[in-house]
Amino acid sequence: MGDREKPGLVAGFQEHYGDLLRFLIWRTGDADHAADVAQDTYFRLAALPEPEKPIGNVRAYILRVARNLSIDRLRREKWEVSAETVAEEVAAVADDSVPQDEALLAKERLRLLDEALQALPAKPREALLLHRVAGLSQAEIAARLGVSESMVTKYVAQAMLHCRTWRRRLDAEQGAGQAAGRGAGLDKEKL
């Protein structure tokens, strides 16, 4: 029964691919993103263990799997720090052609980011660093930390939220400081 069911899911995927893709494009608003999620859906369906009981509505089941994968992908993207942002900050510190005040500001931001990371509990901090710096997979991180993969996801999300909150606070403080400086006639362009 299980051998017949799995090909049924793959066959159902092929049969309902048009509906699935339209659903994902509507859900994500991006055809490329939708195609990626559809591919993930296919792999997930093909890798599923033998179901204990037959699936009544294969189309609904496939759309549900795709919906869940879409949500997971959007959550991951939401919590990821742009590699470009990190590269820009590092380049600003390392580039000799950067004006000294900008380089000092970048170094200070990195120092404050390090403080923000140190303020995190050990496991979320380690999960984030293993994920972002070492490039380990969730499974590898889970094995190192002795937790489940879903806990690794939660740790990374917690650490990213902490860092984003820190960044917003820092930006707000700098914005308030610049506004106060302009109010006192200390505008950089006038100096």
Q: Residue 161: name the closest of 118, 120, 126, 123 by CA.
A: 120
Mean pLDDT lowest for which of 44-53, 86-95, 120-129? Answer: 86-95
Q: Residue 126: name the closest of 139, 108, 144 by CA.
A: 144
Residue 142 near residue 149, CB atoms below 8 Å: yes
Q: What is the pLDDT of residues 153-188, one digit of tens each?
A: 898 888 888 888 887 887 787 777 666 555 544 444
Q: Go through 137-147 and write b for each residue having 16 or more CB atoms within 10 A of its CB, e for each that does not.
A: ebeebbeebee
The DSSP-derived string for 108-155 is HHHHHHHHHHHTS-HHHHHHHHHHHTS---HHHHHHHHTS-HHHHHHH
Residue for token pair 């500001």: 105
Q: What is the pLDDT of residues 29-73, one digit of tens each?
A: 888 888 888 888 888 888 877 677 878 888 888 899 999 988 888
Q: Which CATH architecture has domain 2-78?
A: Orthogonal Bundle (1.10)
Helices (H), the chain: 2-15, 17-28, 31-47, 58-79, 83-94, 100-118, 122-132, 138-145, 149-183
- Integer Cα distance of 18 and 20 in angstroms: 5
Percent of the chain's residues with pLDDT above 70? 76
Residue for token pair 């990195």: 110
- Integer Cα distance of 109 and 36 in angstroms: 35
Mean predicted confidence (pLDDT) in 72-77: 77
Under DSSP, is residue 44 helix (H, G, I), strand (E, B) or coil?
helix
- Delimit the domains of the chain by residue range: 2-78, 83-190
Q: Residue 117: name the closest of 167, 163, 78, 171 by CA.
A: 163
pTM for the whole structure: 0.41
> What is the third-level CATH fold of 83-190?
Arc Repressor Mutant, subunit A (1.10.10)
